[in-house]
Amino acid sequence: MTMAGEHQSRRDIVHFGRMLHERGFIAACDGNLSVRLNKDRILVTPTGVSKGMMKPSDLVVVDTTGRRLKGRREVTSEIGMHLLIYRMRPDVGGIVHAHPRTATGFAAAGMALDQPLVCEVVIGLGSIPLAPYGTPGTPELAETLEPLVPQYDAILMANHGVVTYGVDLQSAYMKMETAEHFAQITLVTHMLGQQQLLASEDLEKLVAARSKYLGVNSAAPMPVPSCNGYGADGREIQVLRKGKAARTHAIPRQRGSAIQFES
């Protein structure tokens, strides 16, 4: 990437960091963002700084092992998670990690966002799985994400937060908004005590439609309607379903990544 490209990436990280802060997706010095500058260099946020109040010069450039190449500040303690995602997903150009209230609430309740409730979410993300808890700032955190990274573009991290990634930083940020918005909608279905899941034939049409949407590059499996919905307070939720149950099958990622079908 050229110097002009790096300057633009610095501005993008400052911009989307401010948006995360303004939307209440992070508090204090939480969260981190990164951009892949080229195959050996990653631009990433520092530790100990509010992501709502950064300057472009606060950012740090590291190599693919996390060693600092440029910048005065200390790199985020979650650099291992960013490096893992860039290593496993050559298609990814930007990563956002935040603690949005509702999605993090689901992660703290031990609940994935994997019910087929909203068509746009099925197209864009498939479903949002829950990774087991891993201590922040240790290799354990990246290890818990590893099995999920190849297929999913948005992951809940148990008792912690959410990570999203995409072809560029804007796409990663948009997925964070989608994940939090979907968590809010799912919470409302819990409050109403009822969920009407998309039928498998409708899910299949959404799979077919996925390739038409620009920027949709997820290989996430279609959400599979589970038999037992349960409410936030342990009450049973009434699950209404049309048609036959859907099969689990990952959707081929565009641009030739792993294709996996499990019927």
Q: Please give the residue ranges that form the binding site for Zn ion (CB under 5 A).
A: 161
CB of 89 to Zn ion, least distance (A): 19
Is 78 catalytic? The answer is yes
* 248 CB burial (10 A radius; 0-12, 13-18, 19+): middle
Q: How far is CA 116 from CA 24, 214, 244, 255, 261, in A?
A: 26, 21, 13, 25, 18
Selecting among 6, 22, 74, 78, the annotated active-site residue is 78
CB of 175 to Zn ion, least distance (A): 16
Residue closer to Zn ion, measured from CB, 98 or 207: 98
Residue closer to Zn ion, measured from CB, 8 or 47: 47
CB of 170 to Zn ion, least distance (A): 21
Q: Which residues contact 212 (CB under 8 A, 6 or more apart)?
A: none
CB of 163 to Zn ion, least distance (A): 8
Q: Which residue is nearest to Zn ion (CB)?
A: 161
Residue closer to Zn ion, measured from CB, 106 or 195: 106
The rounded distance, in Å, linking the Cα atoms of 127 and 251 is 12
DSSP code of residue 27: -
Q: How far is CA 86 from CA 26, 34, 192, 237, in A?
A: 23, 10, 40, 38
Residue closer to Zn ion, measured from CB, 30 or 204: 30
Question: What's the gap between Cα 222 and its chain centre?
Answer: 16
Q: Which residues are catalytic?
A: 78
